[in-house]
Amino acid sequence: MDSKTWQLRVKFIVFLMVVASAFMLGYFAMSPYGVVAPKLWNVRIPGLRGEIRDATGKLCATDRILYVAYLDVGYLRKTYSPRLNPYLKLLFENFNLDLSTEDVLRGDKSFLRLGRSSTRDDLLNLVPTEMLFCVSIETEVERKCTDVYGMEKILGRVIDGNGIGGIEQALDEYLRPRKEGRIQLKYHYGLFNANSKIESIQPPQNGNNLRLTLDIDIQRICYEEIQRAVEENNALAGGIIVVETKTGKVRAMAFTRKWNDTVLGYIEPGSAIKPIVYAIALENNVITPESTFLCQGSIKPVDTVDITIGDMSAHGVLNTQEALVHSCNVATVMIAQRIHKAMGDQEYWSWLKKFGFGQRTGIQIAGEIEGVLRRPQDWSKVDFAMLSIGHGIGVTPIQFVSAFNVIANDGCYVYPTLLETDKSTEVRIISSENARVIKEALRRVVTKGTGIKASLPNIEVAGKTGTAQKLASGPGKYYSIFVGFFPYEDPKYTVLIYVDEASSEKYLGGDVAAPVFAKVVERITSLSVKEPLTFTEGVMPDLRGLTLRDALIVLKMMGVNEVQINGTGIIREQYPEPGSMQLDRIELSLE
């Protein structure tokens, strides 16, 4: 147990002695049973669940001890006297309870919960001295987590000490307290006096603390941008995942649904899967970078099946990289035909599994699904071709960004993680040479291809667009996708943008998702230029220069709810000053 936690425990012990003293003084002042022999009083100290912090140390979830006042109704019935009526009335009024003495005495409850507070003094001040003999103050633990930028849906909840959903459930055993503590107090003659003492102290064994990979500053950017994209495109939902390319550390996981569909739901990737299909073909020598394909605008994958796959226009003769740059469906189906002939469906399926499709990534979120990758024996005659253009397969967003990251990471798969202390597990899937061929094409996608709206003037990026029709939802319903990485030469982050059911007027991944990617990259890059706002628990951060909205979000994360606001505009002055001890009440001056 660290020194800070032990100091809190000592304060708690002192509090127990004060409350016990008040309780016993009140009890023996009014109890009809008089003085009793020395006794031992065992007091439980609740163990605390581990703290959860983001990658920069910002507190995301913590336990706090609350104090709860109870009226011992059973004991009150035994010792009741009419002279207590005015004190009972005052007690109920102080706790805002619409009760009468008759209601309580005639009821079937043995204990009545009066109220709770974050401080013991608040409760003691509400209890008339004459009522101390039958009022006890207990402790209970409340889990408090940040509820900004969608973090609460990632973290999950804690109910009755059990993690429910999200990280809290996935890592429940790691976070939960190991053992509660106990204090044994010995008192004489009903009073704490010179002969009274603490017989023994057994500190609680708290749960383990977590440091997440999530960065609140990057999470904020992604949350704001996907909210804006969904609103501007009149879409159903959307999400953004940012993964550190070389380590798999998830820096942001933002989504607009009420549940975490980045892990618990799946999308069809559409053309965004093509780089992976091309990589499989290159790695198995089915094609080379110099291979050429003639696109006449449409193709039948299987002559005996009346299904045609087309492009928006005929592309003519394209080599491998050009086919990817222009997202040519015809060329991609031709590549799938070669895979089908040279490797067979079983081997093709095995390669898709190598990229992580159809299986859980192991991300630390309860309820992660496998996505949908049917076994070859369940494929139709044209499924090998449909898969190559991202249809007939369901990928979770975390699964897909991890698969695409193989290209960005020079051919190696790294398992995604939400734990900052995790060491990356890397598996080579394709050669670095083949990865570079695909990366070069993806760079050209954003300079002259379908992803040009993802390009930025001062940052080299690469990526792929995707548009997938949602057949189950009827005509005109699409997933709009862009997945890419930056900087191009030495990628730091791999980013997935997906928007579900954008308006029918504008639904292509290059029009809907690519501009969001550009905005996210621009804002993340600016974080390294302008220091992000940081704060330490218990210390006032520097809020000067912030908008009122951003300042209120920070204060809410710190648990400050009482804020006096003077003026409008940007925050110019604050009290307490930056670096001062945090107070419950904050004053902000704007101009």
Q: What is the DSSP string of 98-140?
A: ---HHHHHHSS-SEEEEEEESSHHHHHTTS-GGGGGGEEEEEE
CA 130/CA 97 separation, integer angstroms: 18
Q: Is the pLDDT of residue 212 over 70?
A: yes
Higher pLDDT, 455 or 44: 455
The pLDDT of 354-363, averaged and rounded, is 97
Residue 227 has pLDDT above 90, yes or no: yes
Q: Characterize the bridge pairing of strands 493-500 and 292-295.
A: unpaired
Tell me the mean pLDDT in the region 383-394.
Answer: 95
CATH class of 3-210: alpha beta
Highest mean pLDDT among 50-59, 133-142, 265-274: 265-274
Quote the pLDDT of residue 362.
96
| CA–CA gap between residue 202 and residue 258 (Å, rounded) | 42
CATH of domain 216-527: 3.40.710.10
Reply yes or no on whether the pLDDT at 468 is more than 70: yes
**Least trusted range by pLDDT, from 25-34, 190-199, 473-482:** 25-34
* Strand blocks (E) in 274-386: 292-295, 298-299, 309-310, 316-319
pLDDT of 374 over the 70 cut: yes
Name the DSSP letter for residue 418.
S
Domain-wise residue ranges, the chain: 3-210, 216-527, 548-590
Q: Is the pLDDT of residue 185 over 80?
A: no
pLDDT tier, 33 (very low <50, low <70, confident <90, very high otherwise) = very low
Q: What is the pLDDT of residues 404-445, one digit of tens each?
A: 999 999 999 999 999 999 888 899 999 999 999 999 999 999
**Amino acid 479: pLDDT:** 95
Would you place residue 354 in the very low, low, confident or very high pLDDT band (cuts 50, 70, 90)?
A: very high
Which residues have CB under 8 Å from 69's CB, separation 6+? 95, 113, 114, 115, 116, 123, 126, 127, 135, 136, 137
Confidence category of residue 540, pLDDT binned at 50, 70, 90: confident
Number of Cβ atoms within 10 Å of the Cβ of 367: 13
- Please report the pLDDT score of residue 580 as a whole number: 62
Four-residue CA torsion sign, 490, 217, 402, 441: negative
| Phi, psi values for residue 51, rounded to 5° | -75, 150
DSSP H/E element including 361: none
Close Cβ partners of 529 (under 8 Å, ≥ 6 residues apart)? none
The answer on pLDDT for 19 being more than 60 is no
Q: What is the pLDDT of residue 21?
A: 46
In the predicted structure, residue 34 carries a pLDDT above the cut 90: no
For residue 14, pLDDT beyond 80: no
Using a 10 angstrom Cβ sphere, with 0-12 exposed, 13-18 middle and 19 or more buried, the burial of residue 505 is: exposed
pLDDT of the residue at 591: 77
Report the range of poorest mean pLDDT among 303-307, 363-367, 492-496, 585-589: 585-589
* pLDDT grade for 197, boundaries at 50, 70 and 90: confident
| Model pLDDT for residues 105-136, shown as the tens digit of each residue | 998 889 999 999 988 889 999 999 999 989 98
Task: Please list, residue by residue across 182-198, b when 16 or more beta carbons sit within 10 angstroms of its beta carbon and e when fewer do.
Answer: ebebebbebebeeebee
Q: What is the mean pLDDT of residues 325-349?
A: 97
Q: Which two tokens stand for residue 238?
A: 């959307």
Per DSSP, the residues of 158-186 read EETTEEESHHHHHTHHHHS-SB-EEEEEE
Reported for 183-186, long-range contacts at CB under 8 A and 24+ positions apart, including other chains, are 183/13, 183/16, 183/42, 183/43, 183/45, 184/40, 184/41, 184/42, 184/43, 185/16, 185/17, 185/20, 185/40, 185/41, 185/42, 185/43, 186/38, 186/39, 186/40, 186/41
Given pLDDT bands bounded at 50, 70 and 90, which one contains residue 534? low
The model carries a pTM of 0.82
pLDDT digits (tens, 9 = 90+) for 66-105: 899 999 999 999 999 999 999 999 999 999 999 999 989 9
What's the confidence (pLDDT) of residue 119?
A: 85
Q: What is the CA radius of gyration of the chain?
A: 31
pLDDT of residue 530 exceeding 80, the answer is no
